[in-house]
A and B are shown apart, each in its own frame.
Chain A
Amino acid sequence: MKRDLLPLLLIPLLAAAAFPLVGSSASWVTLTVAGLAMGLMIFVMASGLTLTFGLMDVLNFGHGAFIAVGAFVAASVMLALGTWMQVDSLWLNLAAFLPAVLAAMAVSGVLGFAFERVIVRPVYGQHLKQILVTTGGLIVAEQLLKVVWGPDQITLTRPTALRGAILLGDIAIEKYRILAVIVGLVVFAALALTLNRTRIGLLIRAGVENGEMVEALGYRIRRLFVGVFVVGSALAGLGGAMWGLYQETITAGIGGQVIVLVFIVIIIGGLGSVGGCFVGALLVGLTANYIGFLAPKVALGSNILLMALILLWRPQGLYPVAKR
């Protein structure tokens, strides 16, 4: 495949097209940053899912459970460290935030490992059963969350240093969104480096293209898959933690709510492509924010429309993965 930059160009094109519609440049900057932040959080949640599909054709509708668990675990840790969250010190705030997201990733990763063993492994290669069984897993997980954390929503306030906005002239940029952008870019860079520069990464890319041949070269693709599944679950937990703090309220349904966006993103990107997932997530985030501002009533359907348009242009997604 040649390096195909056309889909990447869609991001500045979309932003440029929105500029005259939004009118004020201050609002436009705010919306654009909000869109990028939202897109990057969705990217973090979606990256693992696209790889597990690419590697083993596994459709995991239970992915939302890892997102939800991440949000709840992070919230618990941050509530427990409440005093550090409320003081006006970036360092103490981060001292509460960091262990919270690390715990979220750890718990979601362990859960992912168990989920793969118990729920996904018995249904390898059977799509219909995968959909049913993993959806069942999501429902069970949501009920378990209610058992552990109670049926009511948890309200969480962002740490002091991440509250409010930075003002540049008349442009307001929420601090938390800057953090979300940084985290998202770090995750993207780490994934890109791993996939392009390490042997494991090469194996994952090769396996997405042709798992059978990777096995014929003597590599155990199942182990690779389990590793990717666990890392993907941990990233979903990280994304969930970020998203929960972004919303400032967390309910057991949080996974089910964002998983729709996650699926739209990986379909737009091309199933199995991390680069496509990245571009798709940014497009979805930007679209949601621009449309939410311009025509709030149709905001809900805007991402479906975006997906339809992109699939009309490229039926296999922005970066189709060459299969077998």
Chain B
Amino acid sequence: MWTARILRAQDSRVRWKRAVHVSALLSLRGVKTNIGRYHILHGVEFDVAEGGLTMLLGRNGAGKTTTLRTIMGLWRAHEGEIHFAGRDIARLSTPDIARLGIAYVPESMAIFGDLTVQENLVLAARSAPPERKRLDWIFARFEALKRFWNLPAGNLSGGQKQMLAVARAIIEPRRLLLIDEPTKGLAPAIIVNMIAAFRELKDGESTLLVVEQNFAFARQLGDTVAVMDDGRVAHTGTMAAFAADAGLQQHLLGLGMGEHQ
């Protein structure tokens, strides 16, 4: 009996190793999440390769936001494993997950409106006051943050709040960035800046997992895709292949011809 169980355990570990890409920084296996009495995620599985940018796509309500929140520990996965840098984080508390080097930009932005832009960033820089060089790098891309440095963040426009939410995640180097719809409400010129910033981060210190509805943006930036449908990941692969396959896009995202930008 005992031996059988040990053998089975070893067996599953071997399978695990084979299944996980060697260079995956984050991998989800069989993740199920309930919100209240609703079953939202039904066994989500995908990998995020280290040093790359993975796009998490899918129709409205597919479960993208729920997946990011589950990784962050804001919803509990009641089943399944979430491995980050080699350890299972599915049972850690949200602050402990963040302290492993994961930053999160929620869909709602969740900037602190009563605090100034500066205070928002001071809190986001957990280990030390924000570095001058780093700030200048951010200001070069999101100029509005410099202009409204001492303004309560609640007074910023929607797009400016979005910039602040992203800036808060990148004010210090983090290993993994989870970003939910970063382009929402942003002017095209700022989106160009954001693409540049994400590329630099990816080439340097970070791995990114980005949820995005704007397919033109997603296609430019993504190395790989994971496409969700009804609480599962229905497709994974390279962005190049996915972008070339209009039929698959139509099937998974419901993109009509005219909707391509």
Please say whether chains A and B are actual partners in one complex.
Answer: yes
Q: List 8 A-B pairs, minimum CB-CB distance, nearest first.
A: A218-B98, A213-B110, A215-B94, A206-B112, A216-B104, A220-B95, A218-B99, A322-B113
Stretch of A43-51, A197-205, A288-296 contacting B (4+ beta carbons < 8 Å): A197-205
Complex CA distance for A2 and B72, rounded to whole angstroms:
32
Contact indicator per residue, chain B 26-65, by CB within 8 Å of chain A (1) or not (0): 0000000000000000000000000000000000000000
Contact indicator per residue, chain B 182-203, by CB within 8 Å of chain A (1) or not (0): 0000000000000000000000
A297 in the interface (beta carbon within 8 A): no
Are A1 and B114 closer than 8 Å at their CB atoms?
Answer: yes
Taking the closest CB of chain A, its distance from the CB of B34, in whole angstroms, is 16
Are B114 and A324 closer than 8 Å at their CB atoms?
Answer: no
A-B CB contact pairs (8 Å), 9 listed:
A1-B152, A205-B112, A209-B112, A210-B112, A212-B94, A213-B106, A213-B110, A216-B98, A218-B95
Taking the closest CB of chain B, its distance from the CB of A239, in whole angstroms, is 25
| CB interface residues, B 144-161, toward A, < 8 Å | 152, 154-155
A124 in the interface (beta carbon within 8 A): no
Which of B74, B99, B112 has the most C-beta atoms of chain A within 10 angstroms of its own C-beta? B112
B123 in the interface (beta carbon within 8 A): yes
Are A216 and B115 closer than 8 Å at their CB atoms?
Answer: no
Complex CA distance for A211 and B124, rounded to whole angstroms:
14
A217 in the interface (beta carbon within 8 A): yes
Complex CA distance for A32 and B104, rounded to whole angstroms:
51
* CB neighbours of A91 from chain B (8 A): none
Are A202 and B119 closer than 8 Å at their CB atoms?
Answer: yes
* CB neighbours of B154 from chain A (8 A): 1, 322
Complex CA distance for A206 and B116, rounded to whole angstroms:
11
Contact indicator per residue, chain A 172-185, by CB within 8 Å of chain B (1) or not (0): 00000000000000
Complex CA distance for A267 and B172, rounded to whole angstroms:
39
Taking the closest CB of chain B, its distance from the CB of A103, in whole angstroms, is 35
Instruction: Out of A2, A202, A208, A212, name the residue touching B123 (CB < 8 Å).
Output: A202
Nearest opposing residue in chain B for A221, CB measure: B95
| CB interface residues, B 75-127, toward A, < 8 Å | 93-95, 98-99, 104, 106, 108, 110, 112-115, 119-120, 122-124, 126
Binding site for B on A (CB under 8 A): 1-2, 199, 202-203, 205-206, 208-210, 212-221, 321-322, 324
Instruction: Out of B98, B113, B119, name the residue touching A217 (CB < 8 Å).
Output: B98
Complex CA distance for A1 and B94, rounded to whole angstroms:
28
Query: For chain B, which range describes its interface: under 10, 10 to 19, 20 to 34, or 35 or more residues?
Result: 20 to 34
* CB neighbours of B94 from chain A (8 A): 212, 215-216
B141 in the interface (beta carbon within 8 A): no
Instruction: Out of A2, A212, A324, name the residue touching B152 (CB < 8 Å).
Output: A2
Instruction: Out of B95, B114, B126, name the residue touching A209 (CB < 8 Å).
Output: B114
Taking the closest CB of chain B, its distance from the CB of A141, in whole angstroms, is 32
Taking the closest CB of chain B, its distance from the CB of A6, in whole angstroms, is 17
Complex CA distance for A2 and B152, rounded to whole angstroms:
7
Complex CA distance for A203 and B114, rounded to whole angstroms:
11
Instruction: Out of B93, B99, B112, B122, name the residue touching A213 (CB < 8 Å).
Output: B112
Known: A199-B122, A218-B99. A212 touches B110 (CB 8 A): yes
* Sample of 10 further A-B pairs with CB below 8 A, known A1-B113, A210-B110: A1-B152, A1-B155, A202-B122, A202-B123, A205-B114, A209-B112, A209-B114, A213-B112, A215-B95, A322-B154
Complex CA distance for A214 and B168, rounded to whole angstroms:
12
Are A216 and B106 closer than 8 Å at their CB atoms?
Answer: yes
Taking the closest CB of chain A, its distance from the CB of B164, in whole angstroms, is 12
Nearest opposing residue in chain A for B155, CB measure: A2
Nearest opposing residue in chain B for A323, CB measure: B113
Complex CA distance for A203 and B112, rounded to whole angstroms:
10
Complex CA distance for A209 and B120, rounded to whole angstroms:
12
Complex CA distance for A218 and B110, rounded to whole angstroms:
15
Instruction: Out of A202, A209, A214, name the residue touching B113 (CB < 8 Å).
Output: A209
Nearest opposing residue in chain B for A322, CB measure: B113
* CB neighbours of B93 from chain A (8 A): 215, 220
Taking the closest CB of chain B, its distance from the CB of A107, in whole angstroms, is 31
Taking the closest CB of chain B, its distance from the CB of A148, in whole angstroms, is 39
Complex CA distance for A206 and B108, rounded to whole angstroms:
15
Known: A212-B74, A216-B98, A218-B99. A322 touches B126 (CB 8 A): no
